[in-house]
Each structure stands twice: as structure tokens, then as C-alpha cells.
Amino acid sequence: MNEIIDKFNELYGTYQFPFEKADQKLEQMKEPERLEYYREARDINNGRVWKMEMEEIIRQFYQDMALKVTTELEQHAHRLTLIALQKLSTRMAMLSQRLSSSLEPKSQL
């Protein structure tokens, strides 16, 4: 485990991580800007290029993990990357759905 942490620090030790969450940034946006953000997410998520390239990169990582990975560190790196890609895909779908939810007429009580 220390090997993973050492490698991470070697690669990213000086990187300044953004600590403000994306949802916090979205909350700070005015409604028109937030809707445009959701529209952009929908357009990307529904795009043929996005879908095909996500499928390809996931396929490539699984293939590499099955055929090329030789160390435990490489295996962990591939698994973490696949998890990150899955989270990105899920988040893009959720942002797309938020556009639909935001545009639905609000019921009068």
C-alpha cells in the first residue's frame, strides 16, 4: 500500500486539488447558467461520440487488465480508473436528468 501512496505522491504531489465540489459550484450558479450547464451535459451524454469513446476506453482498460497487467499496483490503477469512468458516466447521466427535472412544469398546490 505504501508503494501506491509513494507513486501517487511522486506523480501528483504538487497538484493543487480543487476542494469545492461541483454541486456547490452548481448551487452558486444563477438558474439560466445552471440550465445551460445541464443542457451541455445532456448533449455530451447523448452524443454518439461520447458513448462510443467511453465504451472503447472501458473495453481497452479491461483488455489491458486481462492481458498486460503484471503487478498488483497496475491492477489497482486499472480498477480505480474503471471506477472513475463509471462514476463519470453516472454523473453525466444524472446531470442530463436534472435538465428534464428543471424544465418540468411545477405543480400548483
pLDDT digits (tens, 9 = 90+) for 25-48: 999 999 999 999 999 999 999 999
26 within 8 A of 34, measured Cβ to Cβ = yes
For 92, the grid coordinates are: 453525466
Residue 15: per-residue pLDDT: 67
**Confidence bin at 14 (pLDDT 50/70/90):** confident
H or E stretch covering 51: helix 48-67
pTM of full prediction above 0.85: no
How far is residue 33 from each of residues 9, 20, 24, 36, 88, measured CA to CA in Å? 36, 18, 14, 5, 21
Residue 34: per-residue pLDDT: 95
Residue 20: per-residue pLDDT: 83
